[in-house]
Amino acid sequence: MIDMREELEISGETADFFGEENFARLQSIMYPKQIARGAFLFWEGDLADKLYYLRSGQIHLTKSTAEGKDLILSILQKGDLIGEIDGSEETLHSFSAIAIEAADIGVIHKKDLDILLYRHGDFAIQFIKWMGLTHRTTQSKFRDLLLFGKPGALASTLIRMSNTYGEKLLDGIHLKLKLTNTEMADLIGTTREGVNRILNTLKDEGTISLVKGNIVIHRLEDLRKMCNCPTSPPCPTAICRL
């Protein structure tokens, strides 16, 4: 198990969501695992009997289509919790997880998680809230992908990137995550050429620009209009994320 002395040094979205005491409980049942760049943490169709806490590195969640194309569902970073656990003993993963960078993982076995849920009611409530938040995030992505066409889906992706990897400077929001046009195409289910056309239009309109290969968003409101982004109230950044 992970040394409990390390608990306070580890932070991230999951730690913030669960709170210090409940995250310490979750931390206490993690087993360390390292995976190399390019290796799969699990495959679509594998038994979903574990959760994975990403202590460092970057993980892409991918879904294979009937035509053999891989779509990127999410790009996860340090502090994220990965997995699909429900009440069934035979749940299978509906997506694959691949390490884009060498990753340090905390593995949580379902049987150990069940004991925590049984013993600590406050932890169980937070865990249910985490599951609900995960479902809302997935639903919001599907809404943007299905209802507003490829330009709206790309605009939504750029907004999510700004919430997850953006740095606000005087000239706009600089996206610290650099994705190829092919990777962005895989995020919205289109072609690289389609992404090229949409990005060029946004650049011509002054909505975005490129600085040393990184996207800078100058007019966030333009992107919000493209995907009918809710404004009153706006989506929480815990949901509107990549």
Whole-angstrom distance, CA of residue 96 vs CA of residue 61: 6
- pLDDT, position 13: 67
DSSP line for the chain: ---GGGGGG--SHHHHHH-HHHHHHHHHT-EEEEE-TT-EEE-TTSB--EEEEEEES-EEEEEE-TTSPEEEEEEE-TT-EE----S-SS-B-SSEEEESS-EEEEEEEHHHHHHHHHH-HHHHHHHHHHHHHHHHHHHHHHHHHHHSHHHHHHHHHHHHHHHHHEEEETTEEEE-S---HHHHHHHHTS-HHHHHHHHHHHHHTTSEEEETTEEEES-HHHHHHHTT--BTTBPPTTTS--
Whole-angstrom distance, CA of residue 47 vs CA of residue 130: 21
pTM of the model: 0.84
- pLDDT, position 110: 92
Whole-angstrom distance, CA of residue 1 vs CA of residue 7: 12
Below-50 pLDDT ranges, the chain: 1-12
Domain positions in the chain = 14-119, 136-227
- pLDDT, position 240: 84
Q: Residue 110 in contact with residue 50, Cβ under 8 Å?
A: yes
Side-chain-side CA neighbours of residue 213 (13 Å): 5
CATH of domain 14-119: 2.60.120.10
Whole-angstrom distance, CA of residue 114 vs CA of residue 76: 25
Class of domain 136-227: mainly alpha
Residues present in the chain in total: 242
- pLDDT, position 28: 95
